[in-house]
Amino acid sequence: MSSTNLTIERTRGGKSESWTVTGPLAKLALRGRLPGAFSFDRATEALNRARAAGVATGDLLPLAFPSSWLVNSAIASTTMARWALPPFAGYFRTLIGQLEIGVHELAALDEKRITDAVRPLAIDGQGAGAISKVVASLVPKSVPLMPDAAIAFAIDAVANPTALDAQTAAADLFAPMLKWFARTVVAHEGLLRELAAQDAKARAPAKELEPAQLFDRLLWFESAGYRVMRGPVAGGGGYHWIGLGERQAIVRVPGEHPTDPKRVDYIDLEIEPDSAWKSEALKALDDAMKST
């Protein structure tokens, strides 16, 4: 499955750098087949149909809490029980009211206003990851999931985690991560809509995703999801973070890495020992970086 590559800007060492999301449609298809992701998507659709039908946000919060477990939220049920009651349920309603204005408005919204609305929810040290995994199912047109890996990938504000679903980033990183996400979606809205239409056609009769929803899924794949896309899950071979010089991408390479089949860190092909796998990796990188 081929599609136009998506080139975005992210932060590295305080500077902006380009990153190319290669083969986005194939990545979306793989992510959508994961049981947790599939169920989270269906739950999000149901919650938003209920909101559109007039069900109050406060009434849907208790459903959004356990839905966050489908995308590996680390929040305990005891915290969810507290969040569902005053004053915290009111804090969630205030935050959601600010975020549902859409990505265009969020891109220009004052970070402090968002941070002030998020902080009261960090009752037991919960941070951006935990809070985002609740809010994203209620405001999917604006809010991405924010595990540490996504924040590290996007704005370089935490260390790239070893654990796939680490959620240690502070609540104060919610706003800068959200602003980066909104700006990126706005900057590439046209292409994201084109990809969403192609994705929906492949998943018919599935509903077409909003640009923010589609980019959120790609952000997960690029920052962390590729680590689990190996073997039969990926149709053979595995997805790897590879590069040569200034070119880097997450691409599928046929076969297993010769010395470490489970390797998930960056593989510099310039210093990678010669092997049949390296030859395949070089070809895969070349092919993937060609926009089709």
- pLDDT value of position 291: 61
pLDDT at residue 2 is higher than 60: no
Mean pLDDT on 28-56: 95
Mean pLDDT on 255-282: 95
- pLDDT value of position 243: 97
Tokens 């590069």 sit at which residue?
A: 243
- What is the tens place of the pLDDT at every residue in 122-174? 998 899 999 999 999 999 999 999 999 999 999 999 999 999 999 999 999 99
Q: Residues of the chain with pLDDT > 90: what percent?
A: 91
- pLDDT value of position 290: 85
- pLDDT value of position 204: 79
- pLDDT value of position 205: 80
For helices 35-52 and 57-67, angle between their N-to-C axes, nearest 10 degrees: 180
Return the DSSP state at 209.
Answer: P
Q: What is the mean pLDDT of the chain?
A: 95
pLDDT-based confidence at residue 34 (cuts at 50, 70, 90): very high
Q: How many CB atoms lie within 10 A of CB 231?
A: 11
CA 10 to CA 241: how far, in whole Å?
A: 16
pLDDT at residue 3 is higher than 70: no
pLDDT at residue 10 is higher than 70: yes
- What is the tens place of the pLDDT at every residue in 168-216? 999 999 999 999 999 999 999 999 999 999 999 988 787 899 999 999 9
Mean pLDDT on 269-281: 97
CA gyration radius, the chain: 19
SS3 14: coil
- pLDDT value of position 165: 94
